[in-house]
Every structure is written in C-alpha cells, then in structure tokens.
C-alpha cells in the first residue's frame, strides 16, 4: 500500500492515524459487536459518540455556553438557503460580503428568501482581496451579516471581522479548526466537515442560542429548523452517524496534536514555506493580495499555461494528488488542511522546483 500526499480541497486528506483507528474499530466498535455504521442512532453507544464529538469540539474551540453545537445534513450549500429561512423572521433584508465563488453562491440562495444587501464586493478585483471594512454598506436593520472568511476556490482568507451590531454568520468550511477564533464574536458559524473535520455528510453549526428564537417551526420544514435540531440534540431524524464518529476521532487526534493553537502554528509554517517557494520561482505565481492569502488553499498558475497538463501528470506520478484548480478557474491549487503534514508540503515544493528546472 502506498498513500499519496492528497491536496484535494474537499473531501480532503484525513489524518492517517484516524483512518487506522477507524479501521481497527470498523467491525466491532468497543465491544458493541457491530460497526458504528450498523448501530441505532438512538443507542447508548451512538449517543456517547455524539456527546464525545460535541464535548471535544466545545473544548477545542472554547465555545461559550450560550451557543448550541449542531450536526446538520445537506452540506454547506443547503445551509446557504437554511440560514435565511431560519433567521430572516421579521426582518426585510440580510447583508452579505461578496469575496469569492462561495459567497456568491450563498448570496444567490439568500435572494430566494429576502432582499440581499451586498455590503461589499471584490468581484471587480477578480476576488483577489477583501473589501475595506470602513467602506462597507451595512444595513443595521438587516437580519444578519454573512461572510466567508476563507474562499476555498479563490484562496482568499481574512481573520478580522467588520465592526457591526448585526449578528455575524460565517461560512468557516475551510477555516474551522485551522486557526483560533473567538466564537463569541459570531452569531453563527457553520462548516462542511469534509476539509478539517471528517468525511462529507455532516455540517458543523455553532449557533448563539438567542438567535434560535427567530426560527419559525410552524413554517420551516422540520429538519431545517435550527431550533428543532437544537431541541432534539441534532437527531430529529437519522443523523450521518459514521461521519459524526469520524469527526470525533479527528477531534481526538487534534487534541493529541496540542489543539487548535498548536496546529495553527504548523499551518502558518506550511503556508509560509509554500508561498515563499511560489514567490521565488519564475514559473509559478499567486495573484492574491499578500495579507489575504489563504493558509489552507493555495492556488497558483504557471507562466507557461501549456505546461499545466504535464505538471498535473508528473505530480500525480510523484504521489502528489489532486493539484488541479477548481473547474471554474483552472490553474493549480494545493489545499493544505490540518491533516497535510509538513513533509507533504516539502515534497510538493521539491517537485515544483524540480519541474521548473526541467521544463522552464
Ligand atoms: N462553502 C465553502 C467555503 C466551501 O469550500 C464549500 C465546498 N467546497 C461549500 C461551502 C459547499 O459545501 P458542500 O459541498 O458541503 O455543500
């Protein structure tokens, strides 16, 4: 068996130790006589897994007690609609920042439910930067402000938040657990699992409890209501049990690495090394304004586009997997989430330098 270094943006690489542990428990979980995939979600065994995942996440992110942790289905894309459906209530608008392809998708869905105020956009700058906070057009009567602090496709990331009294709702799909965040600054955080949390199939939601009062259970589909999910401990219906189990193992692994602050340092070092190699080369370049370069998703283009397919072919042969950029933008992209070790980044840099020497 030989495992590649996998640079996929999601579903992304999982820690090998987690996969091995899941393998060792696959047929008989802790003496239950069945796999996690086969046990009732109402059983005491599965309930203990769900509680463990929740408790570890609360510890890892230092989530205050006035927040609910929910495990939601449908992918982050479903949340794009679910969020306005739950939180518009008596409001007549919602504010959105447009910083890339994923914000744009969130805006498109929200428009089906309410008036969207695009409070700031960098579309005219090809999404290579972030709007200046003092230039934002915020409607202080809006239901919330939605933003996407890491644009997985464009490779733009920001850390600070605009000043506003609006509840901030953040799509942290590609950020969660990669750097420390102050949860208390957000009304809600959500993140598809398939990057830094586990396999696809579950979305992590962290919602401030007072916002749940806005959810209209008479009007919302039962499985869409965040209030209903909170009341039923994320088990209105059968939850994605195996995905939640794997998430618990990933959280356990992350605790073993020293938690979010420790992995953040490694992530900083990995990104710094890769961007330096890109900046020092004549063949590769990254267009994003320096201070907004994503630590998780590193897109780059080749000065000679005709070399792209050869780059992808040779990198694949060298055991470096899934380096093609998103189908909408082309070029290359290396996603280097928590599970990508420094050795993987070093192997990529070595390959890139060697490729440049041989072909350019
Ligand atoms: N938001 C961001 C930032 C993403 O990167 C993605 C997926 N790559 C999504 C939302 C959509 O996630 P899903 O495929 O789970 O709907």
Section 339-348 average pLDDT? 98
Residue 329 has pLDDT above 90, yes or no: no
CB atoms within 10 A of CB 91: 17
pLDDT in tens, 64-123: 999 999 999 999 999 999 999 999 999 999 999 999 999 999 999 999 999 999 999 999
**How large is the average pLDDT for residues 126-150?**
97
pLDDT band at 327 (very low <50, low <70, confident <90, very high): confident
| Pocket lining: 157 vs ligand 1, CB cutoff 6 Å | no
**Cβ–ligand 1 contact at 192 (below 6 Å):** yes
Domain ranges of the chain: 28-256, 258-359
Domain 28-256 carries which CATH code? 3.40.640.10
Same fold, 28-256 and 258-359: no
Q: Which residue has the tokens 């356990």?
A: 252
Maximum CA extent, the chain: 65
Q: Is the ipTM of this complex over 0.85?
A: yes
Structural fold of domain 258-359: 3.90.1150
Rounded to an integer, what distance in angstroms lies between the CA atom of residue 26 and that of residue 44?
18
User: Are the C-beta atoms of residues 214 and 86 closer than 8 Å to each other?
Assistant: yes
Q: Ligand 1 pocket, 103 CB below 6 A?
A: no
> Span 202-228, mean pLDDT?
97
Which of 12, 72, 76 for mutating ligand 1's site (highest number of atoms within 8 Å of CB)? 76
Q: Which of these, 71, 106, 8, lies nearest to 205 by C-alpha position? A: 71
| pLDDT (0 to 100) of residue 328 | 82
CA 141 – ligand 1 centroid, Å = 28
């Amino acid at each position: 068996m030989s495992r590649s270094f996998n640079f996929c943006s999601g579903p992304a690489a999982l820690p090998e130790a987690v996969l091995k542990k899941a393998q060792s428990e696959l047929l008989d979980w802790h003496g239950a006589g069945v796999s996690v995939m086969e046990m009732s979600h109402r059983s005491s065994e599965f309930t203990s897994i769900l509680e463990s995942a929740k408790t570890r996440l609360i510890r890892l992110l230092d989530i205050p007690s006035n927040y609910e942790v929910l495990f939601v289905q449908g992918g982050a894309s479903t949340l794009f609609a679910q969020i306005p459906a739950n939180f518009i209530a008596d409001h007549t608008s919602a504010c959105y920042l447009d910083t890339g392809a994923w914000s744009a998708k969130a805006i498109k869905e929200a428009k089906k439910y309410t008036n969207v105020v695009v409070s700031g956009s960098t579309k005219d700058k090809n999404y290579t930067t972030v709007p200046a906070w003092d230039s934002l057009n915020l409607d202080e009567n809006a239901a919330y402000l939605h933003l996407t602090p890491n644009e997985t496709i464009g490779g733009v990331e920001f850390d600070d938040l605009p000043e506003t009294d609006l509840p901030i709702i953040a799509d942290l799909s590609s950020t969660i657990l990669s750097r420390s965040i102050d949860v208390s600054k957000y009304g809600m955080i959500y993140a598809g699992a398939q990057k830094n949390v586990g396999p696809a199939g579950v979305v992590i939601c962290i919602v401030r409890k007072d916002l749940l009062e806005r959810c209209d259970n008479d009007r919302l589909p039962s499985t869409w209501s965040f209030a209903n999910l909170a009341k039923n401990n994320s088990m209105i219906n059968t939850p994605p049990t195996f995905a939640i189990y794997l998430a618990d193992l990933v959280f356990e692994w992350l605790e073993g690495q020293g938690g979010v602050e420790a992995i953040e340092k490694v992530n900083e070092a990995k990104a710094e090394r890769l961007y330096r190699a890109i900046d020092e080369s004549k063949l590769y370049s990254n267009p994003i304004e320096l201070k907004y370069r994503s630590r998780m998703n590193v897109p780059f283009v080749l000065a000679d586009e005709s070399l792209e397919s050869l780059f992808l072919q040779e990198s694949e042969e060298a055991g470096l997997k899934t380096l093609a950029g998103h189908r909408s933008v082309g070029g290359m992209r290396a996603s280097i989430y928590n599970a990508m070790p420094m050795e993987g980044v070093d192997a990529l840099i070595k390959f890139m330098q060697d490729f440049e020497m041989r072909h350019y």
